[in-house]
Amino acid sequence: MNSELISCAFYNVENLFDFTDNKYTLDREFTPKGKKKWGPYRYNLKVQKIGKAIASIGNDYCKLPPVLIGLAEIENAGVLDDLLKSDAMQWHPYQYIHYDSPDERGIDTALLYNKDIFEVLETEALTVLLYDNYNVRDYTRDILYVKGKMYDEIVHVYVNHWPSKRMGQSETKAKRITIAELLRSHIDKLEEENPKILVMGDFNDNPSDTSIDRHLAISPLTNPMLGLYKKGLGSSKFYGKWMLFDQILISENFISDTDSRLNFEKAAIYNKEFLMNPRGRYKGEPFRTYTGKYYQGGYSDHFPVYILLKA
């Protein structure tokens, strides 16, 4: 059987909000009267740009756009519907899995999948319970879990968006470790013997940080993006330094089980020139939609990341 390369990707799309006010979430700045002056034109332009970016991931190697795309910072199912109708994506057989999370800003994770290749068998939103020093719950994103079949292989997919460092590295470190332990607990309970697993997300930690290196990237998982980080490569800038918060971890059997289909080939950052800021002090960095309150008209403040698999 001749093998072909397929890709699986993750993309933090930087606040893909619609332009209507949801009274149950803190999204008012993304309305026509809000601080961002977010209206139909800017929204539709962003949807088209994100669609273009997704559809082109891995096109140097693959005949098709990614089979799986994990997304972070999606507001709701409506923006996913619009994304799948965008010019670049409407011709591909994508569907999505999405749950509304308890995040205070109303941003969620989602999984897009090519329904001709990936068959969804089971889905779940894994609730993340975090509390501050006063025992008040910190509402954050769920972990999206999807079990499916791809090329006759059962694959377990987890899409993550962990708490950021905005409140401080040391203040938030424990939260990310807690989520890593929750995720490991779910993985340890999977029924299959030697299951194939993809764990993707914006972890707000680098591959060498404790939450990833000591709590997540341990057997049966391995982190193929660690080598990219050691080379100084990143998917976003944080206080002027390249960070690789966006990662895709894989189970070791994607590498070791050469008798089955779906074998790991490569991990990469999709940092094509059209996704980069073309000018000024931020030239070469991800071309953002906003810098602070100032509209830039770009794609996202993150580059997508992806892996290649031989199928």
Q: Which two tokens stand for residue 205?
A: 């930690």
- How confident is the model over 223-249, as a mean pLDDT? 96
Query: How many whole angstroms separate alpha carbon 159 and alpha carbon 202?
Result: 9
- How confident is the model over 220-243, as a mean pLDDT? 96
Residue 78 burial (CB count, 10 A)? 11
pTM of the model: 0.96
**Sign of the C-alpha dihedral, residues 226, 187, 102, 139?**
negative
* pLDDT more than 90, % of the chain: 86
Which phi and psi (to 5°) does residue 280 adopt? 75, -165
Q: Which two tokens stand for residue 178?
A: 């807690």
Whether 244 and 277 have beta carbons less than 8 Å apart is answered as no
The CA angle 70-49-111, to the nearest 5 degrees, is: 15
CATH topology of domain 5-310: Deoxyribonuclease I; Chain A (3.60.10)
Q: Tell me, what's the pLDDT at 5?
A: 97
Q: Which two tokens stand for residue 270?
A: 């999709």
Strands 5-16 and 68-74: parallel
Q: Tell me, what's the pLDDT at 261?
A: 87
Q: Tell me, what's the pLDDT at 171?
A: 72
CA 273 to chain centre: 20
Omega within 30 of 0 (cis) for the link into 40 = no
Q: What is the pLDDT of residues 156-213, one digit of tens each?
A: 999 999 998 765 566 789 999 999 999 999 999 999 999 999 999 999 999 999 999 9
Q: How many residues does the chain have?
A: 311
pLDDT band at 1 (very low <50, low <70, confident <90, very high): very low
Q: Which two tokens stand for residue 291?
A: 């810098």
Which of 153-157, 195-199, 258-262, 289-293 comes out lowest in average pLDDT? Answer: 258-262
Half-sphere exposure of 89 (CA within 13 A, CB side): 26
Q: Tell me, what's the pLDDT at 167?
A: 59
Q: What is the pLDDT of residues 44-74, one digit of tens each?
A: 999 999 999 999 999 999 999 999 999 999 9
**Domain residue spans of the chain:** 5-310
Query: How many whole angstroms separate alpha carbon 60 and alpha carbon 114?
Result: 19
Which phi and psi (to 5°) does residue 166 adopt? -60, -30
* Average model confidence (pLDDT) across the chain: 95
Percentages (nearest 5) of helix, strand, coil residues in the chain: 20, 30, 45
Q: Tell me, what's the pLDDT at 165?
A: 72
